[in-house]
């Protein structure tokens, strides 16, 4: 049954997923187990996106199915869900840029892969990133930007992290739009990602995990 749910969700068979989840709930299965299976499936979706089998609509759809499963399971849960804690990632679209699609996808991917994600939204000034880093003692920052004006905002943000004396404790990844290695070097980030899955691999490398 567990495999059924994982496979059905990984294959994006919404109706089947909801039927299996309902059956498992009715038969008294542990809601937390159902939830962790669903998360496992969405992580598989993420891997398939990473290897080019799946695309953004598949990620978005799997996220919506997961949301429905969470809503079904929640009323039956007695305690809080024990999520994996792989580490903290602070994310936002940098100052001057209001594009949110890419940032939201990366946030979703990190979240389903067990990271605690602090999403600061769009048009985020450098000091907001620094404040959040200090507040939650974060070790990874993900800066998103679509417009070319975001390159300077990213550079500013990296500089602010340096000025706060945190640069050697914090890893910075950048991504979005037409960004490439030239830009990574210019802004002084540790790495750049072209696809949402890259953020997960980078965060895993930096914070540990398989």
Partner 1 sequence: MAKSPQELYQEKEKRIQDATELKIPDRIPFVPQDTGLFSKHTGLTWEEAMYDAGKYIAALKKTVIDFDFDAYYPPLIFTSGTFNDMLGFRQLKWAGAKDEDSRTRPNTVFQFVEAGSLGREPMSAEDYDWFLDDPTDYIIRRHWPRLAIKFEPFRNLPPIHDMVAYYVGIGQYWPIFASPEVVSAFEALLASGQEANKWVTGLGPYFEEMGKAGYPPIGLAIGIAPYDYFADFLRGKKGCMLDMYRCPDKLIRAVDKVTPWIIDWALTQARRFSNICKRVFIPIHGASGGFMSEEQHKEFFWPSLRRVIMALIDEGFTPVVETQGIYTDRFETIKNVPKGKVIYMIESDLFKAKEILGDTACLVGGPPSGIMSTGSPGEVKDHCKKIIDVVGKNGGFIMATAVPVITDKPENIRAVAEFTREYSTHK
Residues that bind partner 1 (CB under 8 A): 12, 14, 49, 54-57, 60-61, 64, 95-101, 122-123, 147-149, 151-152, 177-183, 185-186, 195-196
Nearer to partner 1, 2 or 195 (CB): 195
Nearer to partner 1, 99 or 139 (CB): 99
Q: How far is the CB of 59 from partner 1 (least distance, A)?
A: 8
Measured from the CB atom, is 178 or 205 closer to partner 1?
178
Are 34 and 69 a contacting pair, CB within 8 Å?
yes
Task: Give min distance, CB of 184 to partner 1, in A.
Answer: 9
**Alpha-helix residue ranges (DSSP H) falling in 74-195:** 101-112, 126-136, 150-163, 181-187
CB of 137 to partner 1, least distance (A): 29
Alpha carbon distance 209, 159 (integer Å): 29
**Residue 121 or 134 with smaller CB distance to partner 1:** 121
54 closest CA partner among 41, 38, 67 = 41
With residue 118 as reference, give the H or E element that holds it: strand 116-119
Token readout for 106 is 């990366």
């Amino acid at each position: 049954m567990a495999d059924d749910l994982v496979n059905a969700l990984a294959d994006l068979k919404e109706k089947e997923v909801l039927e299996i989840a309902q059956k498992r709930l009715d038969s008294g299965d542990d809601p937390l187990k159902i939830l962790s299976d669903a998360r496992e499936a969405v992580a598989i979706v993420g891997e398939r996106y990473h290897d080019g089998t799946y695309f953004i609509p598949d990620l978005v759809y799997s996220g919506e199915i997961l949301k429905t499963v969470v809503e079904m399971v929640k009323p039956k849960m007695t305690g809080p869900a024990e999520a994996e804690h792989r580490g903290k990632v602070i994310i936002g679209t940098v100052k001057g840029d209001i594009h949110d699609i890419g940032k939201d996808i990366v946030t979703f991917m990190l979240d389903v892969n067990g990271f605690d994600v602090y999403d600061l939204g769009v048009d985020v000034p450098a000091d907001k990133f620094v404040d959040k880093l200090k507040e939650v003692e974060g070790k990874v920052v993900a800066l998103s930007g679509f417009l070319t004006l975001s390159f300077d905002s990213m550079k500013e943000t990296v500089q602010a992290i340096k000025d706060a004396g945190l640069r050697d404790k914090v890893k910075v990844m950048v991504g979005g739009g037409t960004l490439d290695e030239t830009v990574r070097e210019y802004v002084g980030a540790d790495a750049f990602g072209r696809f949402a899955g890259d953020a997960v691999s980078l965060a895993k490398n930096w914070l540990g995990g398989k």
